[in-house]
Amino acid sequence: MTTSSPAPVMGIRDEVAALKRERIITAAVELFYERGYENTTLDAVAERLGVTKPFIYAHFSAKTELLAEICTRGVASAVRAMEAALAMEGASPAEKLAALGRRFVTAVLQSQKLIAIFTREEKNLLPGDFQRVSRMRRDFDHKLSGLLEEGVAQGEFRIADPRLAALAIGGMVGWAYVWYRPAGRLSVEELADEMAALVLAMAQAQPARRTAAKVSRAPASRAPRTAATRGARR
Amino acid sequence: MTTSSPAPVMGIRDEVAALKRERIITAAVELFYERGYENTTLDAVAERLGVTKPFIYAHFSAKTELLAEICTRGVASAVRAMEAALAMEGASPAEKLAALGRRFVTAVLQSQKLIAIFTREEKNLLPGDFQRVSRMRRDFDHKLSGLLEEGVAQGEFRIADPRLAALAIGGMVGWAYVWYRPAGRLSVEELADEMAALVLAMAQAQPARRTAAKVSRAPASRAPRTAATRGARR
């Protein structure tokens, strides 16, 4: 566009505002993660950014609004992983669960600090924000147990209590924020693959469409695909 | 003892001191859990107990000592579960893992508030306490991955990466402090049994000593015992 319409100007203004918001959130994440929410003042956030407190107030009305944004982003990353897996057209429950496992692990590792802050500081959210974020989390659990139930109904999974298994999967993956170190032994991709294999093993997944050729002494349909093809026991 | 030796008097004094310490810890657990560590003063703990602050200082030198005691108890409950399972004489790795699963889940549910406080407030521990508690947790993870490796070596488990699987199990069980409600759908015993079954499924446990008679279409040795005998798919 070479016209002098106000649209591009507004676009830049919006972009600048978004960029400033992102910088504020990033600084708040670092400080809430290192020192805790209660121990962090907006003055400290401003200082870390080299700006004044009114700069922050131009974008966030209060510290609690920053916390709400951070917690929402943490949970939203898991919700997006779920939605992408459930949207896989023509995929079986086992294929969706494998994809969810990989995406969910990746989301947690990439959002490690957001998830840590959410887990630790949830009780400092305002009641309305707390309820909204809790609803997002319950929705995640509900969709996951729905996927597990679907797999049980189709004979792909063997799970006695899908609702409990959904909470167990949420825990084994979500907890990764505690032990994950970016410079650790395994890459994000390796962790995503291995953890997804553990999720499928927990569901006793029996893939409907693929065969696990490498496993001997058992019907292929009973051998969890991932553990076999990824070389379990090595 | 009917003599007038000072021993029984000292005994009572010690017992009273221990009782007072327990009451202080219980009140601190409630308040740290409800309001968070930073938002709780020793005055508030004293008020909840109907005592003065010097009463508390007679037993704890500072709020951080209370936090250290609470975090230590939370982790110690899981460590005791581990030690009891590993001490089972003549038990196979699968039997030890099943026992550990049940005991670990029970410990987490019974210590729900301690584990919650530990997870949320760990960063408020003094460096020495933080290191000591972290060492207890690493020791737990280390013993669990040792048990998984032993089971793999004996052909009872199929796990590609026992160290990662140990962290996954720690997460799926430890996370229960987030969702467990004492008045919920399942009792502590039911939760312990179901979660232990999920742990064995994740390890793809093939019991060495027992047969799973109810499973058809597959060699009994490949069918995880717990899921089969507990009626998976119902």
- At A193 the pLDDT is 97
Are residues B230 and A168, on separate chains, in Cβ contact within 8 Å? no
pLDDT at position B21 over 90: yes
- Higher model confidence: residue B108 or residue A224? B108
Size of interface A-B (CB pairs under 8 A): 135
Residue A201: which of B163, B201, B231 has the nearest Cβ?
Answer: B201
pLDDT at position B224 over 50: no
In this predicted structure, which of A178-192, B15-29, B220-234 has the lowest mean pLDDT?
A: B220-234
Average pLDDT of the segment spanning B113-126 = 93
- At B17 the pLDDT is 87
- At B220 the pLDDT is 38
Residue with tokens 């799926």: B172
Are residues A217 and B222, on separate chains, in Cβ contact within 8 Å? yes
pLDDT at position B20 over 50: yes
CA atoms within 13 A on the CB side of B106: 15
Among B179, B199, B200, pick the best mutation site for testing chain A contact (most A Cβ within 10 A): B179
| Pairwise CA distance, residues A45 & B81, whole Å | 42
Are residues A39 and B36, on separate chains, in Cβ contact within 8 Å? no
Average pLDDT of the segment spanning B11-23 = 90
User: What ipTM is given for this predicted complex?
Assistant: 0.82
Average pLDDT of the segment spanning B74-101 = 96
Q: How confident is the model at residue B13 (pLDDT cuts 50, 70, 90)?
A: confident
SS (H, E, C) chain A: CCCCCCHHHHHHHHHHHHHHHHHHHHHHHHHHHHHCCCCCCHHHHHHHHCCCHHHHHCCCCCHHHHHHHHHHHHHHHHHHHHHHHHCCCCCCHHHHHHHHHHHHHHHHHHCHHHHHHHHHHHHHCCHHHHHHHHHHHHHHHHHHHHHHHHHHHCCCCCCCCHHHHHHHHHHHHHCHHHHCCCCCCCCHHHHHHHHHHHHHHHCCCCCCCCCCCCCCCCCHHHCCHHHHHCCCCC
- At B11 the pLDDT is 86
- Mean pLDDT, chain A cut into blocks of 10 residues (234 residues total): 53 88 96 93 95 93 96 96 96 97 97 95 94 96 97 96 97 95 95 97 77 38 40 35
Are residues A160 and B124, on separate chains, in Cβ contact within 8 Å? no
For chain A, domains (ranges, CATH) are 61-229 (1.10.357.10)
| Pairwise CA distance, residues B201 & B85, whole Å | 18
- At A206 the pLDDT is 85
Residue A119 to chain B, least CA–CA distance (Å):
7
Q: Which residues of B175-204 are buried (b: 16+ CB within 10 A; e: fewer)?
A: bbbbbbeeeeebebeebbbbbbbbbbbbbb
Are residues A168 and B172, on separate chains, in Cβ contact within 8 Å? yes
DSSP string covering B84-142, please? HHHT-TT--HHHHHHHHHHHHHHHHHHTHHHHHHHHHHGGGS-HHHHHHHHHHHHHHHH
Q: What are phi and psi of A61, to 5 degrees?
A: -75, -25
Nearest residue on chain A to B121, alpha-carbon basis: A120
pLDDT at position B8 over 80: no
Are residues A158 and B233, on separate chains, in Cβ contact within 8 Å? yes
Token pair, residue B210, equals 């027992």
User: What residues of chain A lie within 8 A of the CB of B141, using their CB?
Assistant: 179
